[in-house]
Amino acid sequence: MSEHSARPAARGRAYQLVVDHVEAQILDGRIKVGDRLPGERELALRLEVSRAAVREGIRSLEAQGVVRSGVGSGPDAGTVVSALPSAALTRFLRLHVALANFPIPDVVEARVMLERSSARLAAGHGDQERLGPVAEALAAMDDPTLDQATFNALDTTFHIAIAEAGGNRLVSDITIAIRDAFRRPILEGLGLLGDRWPQAATRLRAEHHAIYAALVDGDETTAADLMEEHVRGAAQWLPG
């Protein structure tokens, strides 16, 4: 491999041809959710790679949730294109945020944008039933004996429930992923509060209740403004 200095890992990348081929066909609309991919042999011939490379490429697509393998039975058991679940996006965005090392202020601005939008959408529905999970998280956080980790988990649930109540799955998928990616730094930040934690918890509870009241009132602008204030306020405690 040492002679391929421009593409040092070229020999190991045959499976990438398979991944790229399938993805390009999906993006071009030539294959859709539910369609069966060609068999291993056919793909190997078509792309001039080994069958092992085809298997690796398929595995990789499978790990990303793009295809499901082993559908049907027999030697040509099919591989079918699957609708990526929201969980796949959440997982990927979480990893991306964890690895990409975005500056904290950038992430805060992105959260403000997303959570304003989620709050606005959730208030716009003015639907008590949809807000049920929001109310539940709110009530659970009122328990004064909660430790920080449990409080933080419920806080995440509260924000996710608002995003979901908004009813726009693309916005909520992205909002949830970014909120979730920050579960750990937020928890670290809370840990650094030390003695100031009970006071901070009181403030967070009050802010959550005010946001919920605006959602129930169907007051989109107030809900969005309170959410923005809340996200910016909590960001001050983030480490680093």
**Residue 6 within binding range of a second copy, rule CB under 8 A:** no
Of the CA atoms within 13 Å of residue 100, those in its CB half-sphere come to: 13
Single-letter residue type at 67? V
Per-residue binder mask for a second copy (CB under 8 A), 12-41, x = binder = x--xx--x---x--xxxx---x--------
- How many residues bind a second copy, per CB under 8 A? 59
**Residue 186 within binding range of a second copy, rule CB under 8 A:** no
Strand partners, 81: 67
Between CA 181 and CA 159 the distance in angstroms is 13
Contact 183, 155 (CB under 8 A): no
Q: Is 46 or 96 the residue whose CB approaches a second copy more closely?
A: 96
What is the maximum span of the chain, computed from C-alpha positions, in angstroms?
68
Burial 54-80 (b: 16+ CB within 10 A, else e): bbbbbebbeeebbbeeeeeeeeeebbb
Rounded to the nearest whole angstrom, what is the least distance from the CB of residue 19 to a second copy in the complex?
A: 5
Q: Is 107 or 137 the residue whose CB approaches a second copy more closely?
A: 107
Rounded to the nearest whole angstrom, what is the least distance from the CB of residue 86 to a second copy in the complex?
A: 8
Token digits for 173?
């998928």
Rounded to the nearest whole angstrom, what is the least distance from the CB of residue 154 to a second copy in the complex?
A: 19
Q: Which residues, numbered 94-153, are part of the site for a second copy (CB under 8 A)?
A: 94-102, 106-107, 109-110, 113-114, 117, 121
Three-state secondary structure call for residue 1: coil
**Residue 52 within binding range of a second copy, rule CB under 8 A:** no
Three-state secondary structure call for residue 152: helix
Which residues are at the interface with a second copy (CB under 8 A)? 1, 8-9, 12, 15-16, 19, 23, 26-29, 33, 56-57, 59-60, 63-64, 66, 68-70, 81-84, 86, 88-89, 91-102, 106-107, 109-110, 113-114, 117, 121, 168-171, 173-174, 178, 181, 184
